[in-house]
Each structure stands twice: as structure tokens, then as C-alpha cells.
């Protein structure tokens, strides 16, 4: 048996005998030649078993092996431009670790519900493998950029006593006889931590009982939420565009192979560099109302943008678009009022290009105790649960801003996926909590 090598490293072992420990992805039977496509989690390589060159037992194993059987294969690495990945293994030994039963996911087409039901197995397919590797890089890029730009990671709780993003999408649970809710956002806690640390972020799963089935909504999704003391709306946008550009460029640099598997056109991603275009909500509405499609033009001033509006706006630019200063009435209670127009809030959403819709929501937060108290009443929120939050406006209140970026929406855009469900290992949606 040769030295165990990960498939991603085979290029450094040309001419050597190595051992790969993995699974059989698929197989082509050409009689005396068996072509085994092997995968080990780090990549794929084709192994060729030639009857004349290996022991009868090894050849029998190569003939008998089934899709997704676990296998230990030994062979000599050959550079071969025609082989997928540029290398091939001339096999000298094949040992089946476990002969897999008939595998439910075959190379033919399957329906999405069937694949979702078998998500625990579907993860092994090359496209899913590619998406989740991009996801890991998006997450690493998020952490690195924030850690390198003066943001301290300070985690927010998952179990909370009150709503942050409206009471209609709360998951309620019993907390020793009291009501508690799964967090919708760590933002309010970040507003406390910035008064201790200046710039902070929290990063974790967030929950929304979204009762509609859309391609952009999960009930459990990951959000990174940076928050900044002494930062206004302008500063918030500057940070967002630097941050998102870094994430995209990092994926281009480190995940070219995965983007190729996904057949993602990378040219639109290369264009993602600061600055990003900015548009006022008022102008966005005027633009939308001029469109032909009634699903788009029917929007009235004061309404929040929906998916068709975001798509239409996003398609006008080759970079993400900032839409800012939404009416107070369509945004969360904590938004700062625009000093130039009390009907508007200092809010900003970032809409991805290519029609992927909103990936970031954020803005400047109310610094004034009086205004915040008024908003809590207007939104019918339980004042007691927000007593601590009001305190932040009593003891050294400052202008501050922040935002939340949805990891799954970002991964869907970067990977060019129509639906968000493949961007998280085990998606939770309306009607699915299995596997």
C-alpha cells in the first residue's frame, strides 16, 4: 500500500504509488478495463483497473464495486491531460470497505423533493459539494474581513424574550413557564456590545417562522451582523461595499474549481468592486412605477419592496445596488428618522445584481430615547422586554449603524443558484424539517 494522499494533492505525487481512501462516485465498465471515479471529500480522480496488471481479487473488487461503496484504492499517479482533473490513477489494488446497497441517487435526473428527502446523501454529489465549499469560504471571508477591520466577535443569544424583526415570524418556545422566542436577529444585543467594544459583530443562526414558500426564504438561516458606534448611514454603506467586494473576490480566488463545477459565469463576479451605486427609495418607486409589468409597476409609495421589485432594480446594474431611506412605516421600529424628512428612515438595503434580490438589510439606529419610546408604542411592542434596550439611550447614546448579511442569499448569488435551499447543509423551510 502506498502513502495515503488526499486527492487534492495528487499533482505533487506524479509517478508515485499512493493510496486513496474514499468512495466510488461512478463507474464505467469496459470489460478488461474498469474506470472507477473515486472521491475522498477533497476532490475526484479516475482510477483505471486493467485486468492484466492487477491481482484477480483486486480486479473482482473493481468489477463488483457499486456506487457509493467505501473503498481504499492504491495506484500510480499519472498526469493525463484528458482525465478529469488532469490526473489518473493506474490501480494496483482495490479494497472495498463496505459494499453499498443500491444507491438511491443515480446519475439520472431526480425531482427536487426526492433530493431534499435524501439531503444526507445528496451532499455527496459534486454540485452540492461545490456549493458547500463556496459557503465555507464565504464564511471564512466574512470572519477574516471583520476581524481585520476592527470588529470584535461578540455572540448574541439564541433564546430571547422579545422580537427584533416584527412579531409575525416569531418561533415561540416555553422557557420554564415563560414565553421565549428563537432569535430573529442579534442586532439589539450588538447595540449594547458596541457601547462596550466600539465595533462588534455577531454571527450565527437566526430563525423566522416564514409562512410562505419562496426561493429566498428559509426558517433557519445564518446571518452576520456587524454594528458600529459613531457611524452614520454613509459609513454603513462604505463598510458594506468593502465587505461584500472582499467576500466575492475571495471566492473567485479560492473556489475557481467549485464555480466551474457549478458552471457559474465569473465575469459578473469580477465586476464586484467598490463603489456600489446608491438610489433613494423615492427614486426606486418612481422607476418601478414606470415599468410595463403590472406586478412591478403596481407598487405604491410606502410599501416595502418585494421580490419582483428587487429583481427589476437589481438587473439595472452590474454591481449590488443600495436602496436607502425607506419610509418609516415599512421598516422595523429601531430605524433612525431622516432629519430631512420625518417620514423617511435612515435605512439601507443592498440588492444583489443578476436578479438575486436583497442580501443585506441595515441602517442607522434611533439614538433618541423619546423617539424610541414612541416607536415601541406604535409597533405595539412590550415595553418591559425592551427596558434594557432603552437604557442604551440613557447612558451615553451615540449615532450608530449596522447591518445584517444573509449567508445563504449571498451564497446563492455567488454560486448562481436559483433557489436558496441548496446553500445550507440541511435546509429548514415551511414543510421541511427532515433530515
Residues that bind Mg ion (CB under 5 A): 361
Give whichever of 36 and 360 is closer to ligand 4AD, judged by the CB atom: 360
Ranges assigned E (strand) in 230-356: 278-280, 321-324, 337-338, 341-345, 347-352
Quote the least distance from Cβ 72 to ligand 4AD, whole Å: 40
Please count the CA atoms within 13 angstroms of the CA of 220 that sit on its side-chain side.
12
Q: Give yes or no for residue 5 binding ligand 4AD (CB under 6 A).
A: no
Smallest gap from residue 248 Cβ to Mg ion (A)? 20
Q: Which is nearer to ligand 4AD, 47 or 361 (CB)?
A: 361
210 touches ligand 4AD by CB under 6 A: yes
Q: Does 207 bind ligand 4AD (CB under 6 A)?
A: no
State which residue, 41 or 306, has the beta carbon closest to ligand 4AD.
Answer: 306
Closer to ligand 4AD by CB, 393 or 400: give it. Answer: 400
422 binds, among ligand 4AD, Mg ion, none (CB under 5 to 8 A by kind): none
Q: Counting contacts by CB under 6 A, is residue 47 touching ligand 4AD?
A: no
> Cβ 75 to ligand 4AD, closest distance in Å?
44
Distance between CA 429 and CA 208 in Å, rounded?
10
DSSP for 381-402, written as a single string: --GGGGHHHHHTTTSS---EEE
Confirm if 95 and 71 have CB atoms less than 8 A apart.
yes
Min dist CB 361 to Mg ion, Å, is: 3
Mask for 376-415, x = binds ligand 4AD (CB under 6 A): --------------------------xxx-x-xx------
**C-beta of 146 vs 261, nearer to ligand 4AD:** 146
- CA nearest neighbour of 23 among 86, 83, 99: 99
DSSP letter string, 10-29: GGGGBTSEEEEEEEEEEEEE
List own/partner pairs for 4-12 with CB under 8 A and 24 or more apart. Answer: 6/40, 6/42, 6/43, 7/38, 7/39, 7/40, 7/42, 7/43, 7/44, 7/45, 7/85, 8/42, 8/43, 9/42, 10/43, 10/45, 10/77, 10/85, 10/87, 10/89, 11/79, 11/86, 11/87
C-alpha cell at 96: 472495498
Which of ligand 4AD, Mg ion, none does residue 241 bind to, with CB < 5 to 8 Å depending on kind? none
Q: Which of 45, 77, 162, 164 binds ligand 4AD (CB under 6 A)?
A: 164
List the single partner that 336 binds among Mg ion, ligand 4AD, none, CB under 5 to 8 Å by kind: none
Identify which of residues 23 and 403 has a Cβ nearer to ligand 4AD in the complex.
Answer: 403
Written as nine digits, the cell of 209 is 417562522
Among residues 22 and 362, whose Cβ is nearest to Mg ion? 362
User: What one-character-per-residue DSSP string does 75-118 give?
Assistant: EEEEE-TTSGGGEEEEEEEEEEEE-PPPPS--SS---HHHHHHT
Q: Confirm if 49 and 88 have CB atoms less than 8 A apart.
A: no
Is 160 a binding residue for ligand 4AD by CB under 6 A? The answer is no
Q: Compute the least distance from the CB of residue 322 to Mg ion, in Å.
A: 13
Residue 225: contacted member of ligand 4AD, Mg ion, none (CB under 5 to 8 Å, by partner type): ligand 4AD
Residues of this chain, 334-373, that bind ligand 4AD according to CB under 6 A: 358-362
Q: CB 221 → Mg ion: shortest distance, Å?
A: 12
SS3 at position 222: strand
- Please report the sign of the dihedral spanned by the C-alpha atoms of residue 268, residue 407, residue 235, residue 279: positive
Q: Which residues contact ligand 4AD by CB under 6 A?
A: 164-165, 185, 187, 208, 210, 217-218, 221, 223, 225, 358-362, 402-404, 406, 408-409
Amino acid at each position: 500500500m502506498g502513502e495515503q494522499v488526499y486527492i487534492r494533492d495528487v499533482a505533487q505525487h506524479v509517478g508515485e504509488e499512493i493510496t486513496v481512501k474514499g468512495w466510488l462516485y461512478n463507474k464505467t465498465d469496459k470489460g478488461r478495463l474498469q474506470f472507477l471515479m473515486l472521491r475522498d471529500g477533497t476532490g475526484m480522480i479516475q482510477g483505471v483497473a486493467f485486468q492484466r496488471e492487477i491481482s484477480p481479487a483486486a480486479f473482482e473488487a473493481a468489477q463488483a464495486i457499486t456506487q457509493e461503496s467505501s473503498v481504499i484504492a492504491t495506484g500510480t499517479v499519472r498526469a493525463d491531460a484528458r482525465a478529469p482533473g488532469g490526473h489518473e490513477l493506474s490501480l494496483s489494488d482495490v479494497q472495498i470497505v463496505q459494499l453499498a446497497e443500491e444507491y438511491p441517487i443515480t446519475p439520472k435526473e431526480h425531482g427536487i423533493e426526492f433530493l431534499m428527502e435524501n439531503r444526507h446523501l445528496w451532499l455527496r454529489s459534486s454540485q452540492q459539494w461545490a456549493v458547500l465549499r463556496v459557503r465555507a469560504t464565504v464564511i471564512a471571508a466574512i470572519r477574516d474581513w471583520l476581524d481585520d477591520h476592527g470588529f470584535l466577535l461578540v455572540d448574541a443569544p439564541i433564546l430571547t424574550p422579545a422580537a427584533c424583526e416584527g412579531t409575525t415570524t416569531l418561533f415561540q418556545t416555553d422557557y420554564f413557564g415563560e414565553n421565549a422566542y428563537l432569535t430573529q436577529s442579534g442586532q439589539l444585543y450588538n447595540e449594547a456590545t458596541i457601547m462596550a467594544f466600539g465595533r462588534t459583530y455577531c454571527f450565527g443562526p437566526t430563525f423566522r417562522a416564514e409562512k410562505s414558500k419562496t426561493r429566498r426564504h428559509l426558517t433557519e438561516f445564518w446571518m452576520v451582523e456587524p454594528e458600529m458606534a459613531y457611524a452614520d448611514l454613509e459609513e454603513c454603506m462604505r463598510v458594506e461595499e468593502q465587505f461584500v467586494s472582499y467576500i466575492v473576490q475571495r471566492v473567485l480566488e479560492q473556489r475557481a474549481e467549485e464555480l466551474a463545477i457549478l458552471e457559474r459565469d465569473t465575469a459578473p463576479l469580477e465586476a464586484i468592486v467598490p463603489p456600489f451605486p446608491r438610489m433613494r427609495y423615492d427614486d426606486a418607486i418612481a422607476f418601478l412605477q414606470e415599468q410595463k409589468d403590472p406586478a412591478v409597476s403596481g407598487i405604491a409609495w410606502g410599501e416595502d419592496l418585494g421580490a419582483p421589485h428587487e429583481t427589476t432594480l437589481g438587473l439595472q446594474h452590474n454591481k449590488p445596488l443600495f436602496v436607502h431611506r425607506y419610509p418609516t412605516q415599512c421598516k422595523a421600529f429601531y430605524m433612525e428618522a431622516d432629519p430631512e424628512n420625518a417620514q423617511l428612515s435612515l435605512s439601507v438595503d443592498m440588492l444583489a445584481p443578476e436578479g438575486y434580490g436583497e442580501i443585506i438589510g441595515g441602517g442607522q439606529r434611533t439614538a433618541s430615547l423619546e423617539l424610541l419610546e414612541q416607536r415601541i408604542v406604535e409597533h405595539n411592542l412590550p415595553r418591559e422586554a425592551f427596558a434594557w434596550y432603552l437604557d442604551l439611550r440613557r447612558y451615553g447614546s451615540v449615532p450608530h449603524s449596522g447591518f445584517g448579511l444573509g449567508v445563504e442569499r449571498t451564497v446563492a448569488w455567488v454560486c448562481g443558484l436559483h433557489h436558496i435551499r441548496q446553500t445550507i447543509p440541511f435546509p429548514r423551510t415551511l414543510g421541511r424539517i427532515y433530515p
